Copies of this chain bind each other. A is one copy, B any other.
Amino acid sequence: MTAEQDALVIFTPSGKRGRFPLGTPVLTAARQLGVDLDSVCGGRGICSKCQITPGYGEFPKHGVTVHEDALSEWNAVEDRYKRIRGLIDGRRLGCQAKVMGDVVIDVPPESQVHKQVVRKRVEAREIRMDPSVHLHFVEVAEPDMHDPSGDLERLCDALRDQWGFENVTIDLPVLTTLQPTLRKGEWKVTVALHQEAATDRPRIMQIWPGLYEGSIYGVAVDLGSTTIAGHLCDLRTGEVVASSGLMNPQIRFGEDLMSRVSYSMMNPNGAAEMTAAVRGAMNTLFGQLCDEAQVDRTLIMDSVFVCNPVMHHLFLGIDPYELGQAPFALATSNALRLTARDLDLHLHPAARVYILPCIAGHVGADAAAVALSENPDKSEDLMLVVDVGTNAEILLGNTTKVLACSSPTGPAFEGAQISSGQRAAPGAIERVEIDPVTKEPRFKVIGCDLWSDDPGFAAATATTGVTGICGSGIIEMVAEMRLAGILDAQGLIGSPEQTGSDRLFLDGRTYSYLVHDGSATGGPKITVTNRDIREIQMAKAALYSGARLLMDKFGVDHVDRIILAGAFGAHISPKHAMILGMIPDVPLNKVTSAGNAAGTGARIALLNRAARAEIEATVRDIHKIETAIEPRFQEHFVNASAIPNAVELFPNLESIVSLPDVNFNTKTAGDEGGRRRRRG
């Protein structure tokens, strides 16, 4: 047959095209052109992963006319498949349908191996599916006494001959199941192969008799100081089939990281106790995820973890002692490739563990994950990424360079160490407005869409009550208090006399603000004390001065945009954060939320193996700034203790709000009365 008689085959959406002899199966044509068309069974007509949709008629764009007989007739294999399993009308099996004339073939997303996983945010890069574990169906030669060889060696030969894998190896627990599985499958088996990089030896993780039609799973975990959040993902589709979280049980050893490091220093077996606690919690989390998705936990074959350095060391079983003191030396900063068994994790017996690299002694794998998710290194704009948590990770950069640091904000933003603080849960105040004239607050609580002064609010919140103030609520509260003139720039709450409101009351040596008195209905009295204000001032000053230090190092005095990351970051009102002086001054529409970017970074590394090498290279290039040894950090911190700041200008903020110029400190030398001190 000459090339002129060959048929033109055009694949969409890739646009790849080529000429093939009549009779070529569509799957073969796709493979030769490098078109992304899935197949687990290797073209044997049993896995149905290679479904395609032929297009008929005129295609002026491609310059072809596709006739009704452009593909071979519907065959018995497709017939049986459609009868038993069902097949969408218009679909064919790519391994059965043969090219008989010029044709346009569409590969639907579910037939693509490297399908894109859509991320909800418009600006976010989509994830290209290419996990470390893939399924492959093979037919294995039967043993021959005249040419003896092991069953494993013949399976490896099949993987080489039928799929091109060289030097395949196996985990011992799988080897022990090999012989009965091969015989049960009558020498046809489906193999789960782990291979992270082309230079790695592919490793057999699991073998099923015959064609395995189920899925395999991976778990992406963001191990935080306070909470542990996990996503269970289908490694074939990329779908998140379950998400769950729990409190980090290490909280009982210390609320923040340094108190846990202290615990390990003061208690001979302290680090080991905390290691056991966090690993145990992981196994609980896996149980929750599997229950939710109705998945057997032994089908979880891969896992990715991100965490800050102290959690990283404790999870690995390394005493975090060195992280508690200068020079804050990590035991290891590179990415780690381990097995679930190394960490006592109850997943598939041969499950793999990938832990993202740490950036520095205070900037962990969680920050690396944020970088992977948000890509400051690929941004033309100068981007500030702030992951707000008990410890804030801060990245500043663009395509020229990326700087990173961390700043110990403490748990105030998570509602801890705040007198009426609580975790984000139904009943917690999350939105606040304070009337600047009457100083009367109104608020919303989680679980109810009404404002507190709307009719029906009491009835709607009867079940949950009004129980406290969550992290994003306290930010709005403090900012609104500042905006309403009941809090001065130095962070002092005014007296009833100074503010003209009896919601202010003397509470020890300072004044507090009464937000809500639930005592009539048996609920708590919710107040904001001046001690609460101090906690928030410390936290926000730590965060701001870290960001400001990176700006110094970058040699800039403003940034183009800000991304607030972290589960909590998603709920922060940019305006209120800027009134507090938590973040540098930018146009409000340039502040966006990335949700749990660390968790997303973990999920990217789980679903796309190339992303691992990518983030490792990125982290090597990130410039690490150690705030503890930077003299300007302390200066920035002092300035940032004021609300919004003692010295920095906030022109964008001032264009939208006007902060009252009050000073409630009656004892200040050179007292300027109720007026704000001039900026230096």
Question: Contact residues of A with B, CB < 8 Å?
Answer: 142-153, 170, 172, 175-176, 178-180, 316-319, 321-322, 326-334, 338, 342, 358-361, 624, 626, 628-629
Q: Are A626 and B153 interface neighbours, CB within 8 A?
A: no
| Given known A-B contacts A146-B629, A148-B361, A358-B150, A332 and B624 have beta carbons under 8 A apart | no
A549 CB to nearest B CB, Å:
14
| Given known A-B contacts A149-B333, A152-B332, A629-B145, A172 and B317 have beta carbons under 8 A apart | yes
In the complex, the count of this chain's copies comes to: 2
A98 to B562, CA, bound (A): 64
A346 to B331, CA, bound (A): 26
A651 to B444, CA, bound (A): 109
Q: Are B333 and A148 interface neighbours, CB within 8 A?
A: yes
Contacts of A179 in B (CB 8 A): 318-319, 321-322, 329, 331
A423 to B626, CA, bound (A): 72
A318 to B173, CA, bound (A): 9
A584 CB to nearest B CB, Å:
25
Interface of A is mostly: loop
A364 CB to nearest B CB, Å:
12
| Given known A-B contacts A146-B626, A626-B146, A628-B145, A329 and B151 have beta carbons under 8 A apart | yes
| Given known A-B contacts A152-B334, A360-B148, A329 and B143 have beta carbons under 8 A apart | yes
Partner of A175, one of B142, B146, B316: B316
Q: In the complex, which residue of chain B has the Cβ closest to the Cβ of A318?
A: B176
Q: In the complex, which residue of chain B has the Cβ closest to the Cβ of A339?
A: B172
A645 to B394, CA, bound (A): 88
Q: Are A318 and B175 interface neighbours, CB within 8 A?
A: yes
Contacts of A316 in B (CB 8 A): 172, 175-176
Contacts of A629 in B (CB 8 A): 145-146
A368 CB to nearest B CB, Å:
13
A539 CB to nearest B CB, Å:
24
Most buried by B among A172, A326, A334: A172
A625 CB to nearest B CB, Å:
9
Q: Are A153 and B333 interface neighbours, CB within 8 A?
A: yes
Partner of A328, one of B148, B153, B624, B626: B148
What are some 11 contacts across the A-B interface (CB < 8 A)?
A144-B327, A145-B328, A148-B327, A148-B624, A151-B329, A152-B331, A153-B334, A172-B316, A176-B319, A179-B322, A179-B331
